[in-house]
Amino acid sequence: MKLKEIIVVEGRDDTTAIRRAVDADTIETNGSAVSQKTLEKIRHAQEKRGVIILTDPDYPGQRIRQIVQEAVPGCKHAFIEKQDALRKKGRGLGVEHASPDIIRQALKDAHLMSKAPVELITKEDLVTAGLIGGPQAKARRERLGADLKIGYVNGKQLYNRLMMFEITKEDFAEALKRILQEENNE
């Protein structure tokens, strides 16, 4: 699978994992202190070929994603779920630990963030759905993020992520229905 877009990753090991999965070029941020020089490279890549941001499913990865999105609007965002990014033996979390199939699927499901969020889902909808507060809120957010391909976020950030990706009330309701059915089958 050859990608036109350039993939923004955190480091060299991520680039290696990407190249095992797809034929693509990468730009490495070398950590969460993204330099102006790196942002200029990303901006140029976005203008010429397009960019997909694929960072680790942790706080530093989210920080890099936000820095790049603010500096270079219009990038696509790909997400790998935490359980798919865990090192098989020992400790470790990152894109470099994901299988080629997981990476290919994440890139296929990449989203374009909206520049102007539209009110589609209310915060009250999130509370009513048991996604904010309550004993199952975290597990439901993890499942919702995986189902909608928007990644896991905490309760405060869930609303923002749903708005950025313009998730409709209909898509939200369908995903929530699947999650509740899974819970009932457990």
Identify which of 178, 185, 108 has the alpha carbon closest to the alpha carbon of residue 143.
178
pLDDT at 115: 53
pLDDT at 12: 95
Category of 130 on φ-ψ map: left (φ > 0), alpha (ψ -120 to 50) or beta: left
Residues in the chain: 186
pLDDT for position 92: 85
pLDDT of residue 7: 97
Rounded to whole angstroms, the Cα distance separating 99 from 146 reads 16
Q: At what angle do helices 137-148 and 169-185 cross, to 10 degrees?
A: 120
**Which residue ranges of the chain lie beneath pLDDT 70?**
113-119
Distance of alpha carbon 81 from alpha carbon 109, whole angstroms: 12
Supply the pLDDT for residue 88. 80
Sort residue 77 into left (φ over 0), alpha (ψ -120 to 50) or beta: beta
Q: What letters, b where the CB count within 10 A reaches 16 and e where it falls short, cover 100-113?
A: eebbbbbbeebbeb
The region, left, alpha or beta by phi > 0 then psi within -120 to 50, assigned to residue 58 is beta
Q: What is the pLDDT of residue 114?
A: 56
Tell me what pLDDT residue 103 has: 95
Specify the DSSP class assigned to residue 80.
Answer: -
pLDDT in tens, 7-32: 999 999 999 999 999 999 999 998 88
